Amino acid sequence: MKKTSKSANLYAVNDLRYEDIAVSECKDDEVLVEVKSCGVCGSDIDRVYKKGTYHFPTVIGHEFSGKVVYDPKNELTGKKAVIFPLLPCFGCESCKKGSYATCENYDYYGSRRDGGMTEYIAVKRWNIVLMPDNLSYDEGAMCEPVSVARHAISKLNIEKGDNVFISGAGPIGLIAGGWAKQQGAENVYYIDIDERKIEFAKTLGFFEYTEDVTIDCVLEGTGHSDAIKACLEAVKPQGRVVLMGNPSGDVTMTQNTYWCILRKELKLSGTWNSSYNDVVNDWKESLKAMSEGKLDVKPLITHRFPLSQCNEALEMMKNRTEFYNKVILKMNEDEN
């Protein structure tokens, strides 16, 4: 068994190092995963260049898939898997109800503890989700954003024929559009400050929003004040609004914008992460939808980099020197 693992290890803001780290020994409740693919999330960009992680150093990355290469119980060895990155405390009131996303004392792979931008990682058995054999590891690495999008779209209670408005045409926003169509939406409309993202969305069968369209429900995916304003103004009276975007600073609202909520009698909800329990499991449903061809995420993957080029990949994303949608880091370039 390998003793060291090449990793993207964050030592401080603006100090991401590609280096060898020691591979942790598996505890009885863990399995060792050989990571194959790891997606780069927008939150990873913020961690590396703005706010850091909860301690240093930390191996970043929470969207990852791979093969179980060692299982102390010899039950999962050789299986393809994705990893649910949230580690609940199992003791708070939310956890007792199976609402792990709202756990009061959670841990998290890639921000609070070492994550998936590495060749090998020991992960809790509870967090392992087995992949269908017909999915690639790249598709497996997309399971986290697919699950987050599913969780958010499910809160809109879409009815057949609805027009859906989404602010933000990044990976999660576009995946959410796919889920909206699966759940009965007639058309999905987008706004985004980057016109290239709108043009990309159109290639997937979506539309740019114009004010002459009646909008039944809205998903806000950016966390910006202007986008929230646009969402509340666009949706029809008695419409449904779900707020998903994680703000990077304070969110403000004018009196007129606030009146949209009151005077239209809007139904407003928040969403956080995804459901992962025996009753509702966005992760298993996401893998099932991808496996059955109901949701195709492959066109969203615009860039693949070897892990050794982690800094080049993140710099490109930060500076937007190229148009990109989903960026995947590969631990082994020969496997997809």
Range of the domain at 252: 156-270
Are 203 and 163 contained in the same domain?
Answer: yes
pLDDT in tens, the chain (336 residues): 779 999 999 999 999 999 999 999 999 999 999 999 999 999 999 999 999 999 999 999 999 999 999 999 999 999 999 999 999 999 999 999 999 999 999 999 999 999 999 999 999 999 999 999 999 999 999 999 999 999 999 999 999 999 999 999 999 999 999 999 999 999 999 999 999 999 999 999 999 999 999 999 999 999 999 999 999 999 999 999 999 999 989 999 999 999 999 999 999 999 999 999 999 999 999 999 999 999 999 999 999 999 999 999 999 999 999 999 999 999 976 555
- Inter-CA distances, 163 with 51, 102, 159, 196, Å: 37, 30, 9, 22
Of how many residues is the chain composed? 336
Residue 165's domain is classified under what CATH number?
3.40.50.720
Distance CA 200, CA 85 (A): 29
- Inter-CA distances, 99 with 103, 130, 144, Å: 7, 21, 17
Distance CA 176, CA 242 (A): 12
Are 124 and 26 contained in the same domain?
Answer: yes
Distance CA 128, CA 126 (A): 6
Are 141 and 278 contained in the same domain?
Answer: yes
Are 213 and 289 contained in the same domain?
Answer: no
Q: Is residue 223 part of a domain?
A: yes
Are 128 and 175 contained in the same domain?
Answer: no
Distance CA 250, CA 70 (A): 45
| Domain boundary residue, one of 270, 298, 314 | 270
Are 214 and 75 contained in the same domain?
Answer: no
- In 3D space, the residue among 266, 227, 267 whose CA is nearest the CA of residue 246 turns out to be 227
Residue 107's domain is classified under what CATH number?
3.90.180.10
Are 62 and 185 contained in the same domain?
Answer: no
Q: Is residue 336 part of a domain?
A: no
Are 126 and 193 contained in the same domain?
Answer: no
Distance CA 52, CA 70 (A): 31
Per the CB < 8 A criterion, the answer to whether 284 and 130 are in contact is no
Q: What 3-state class would DSSP assign to 148?
A: helix
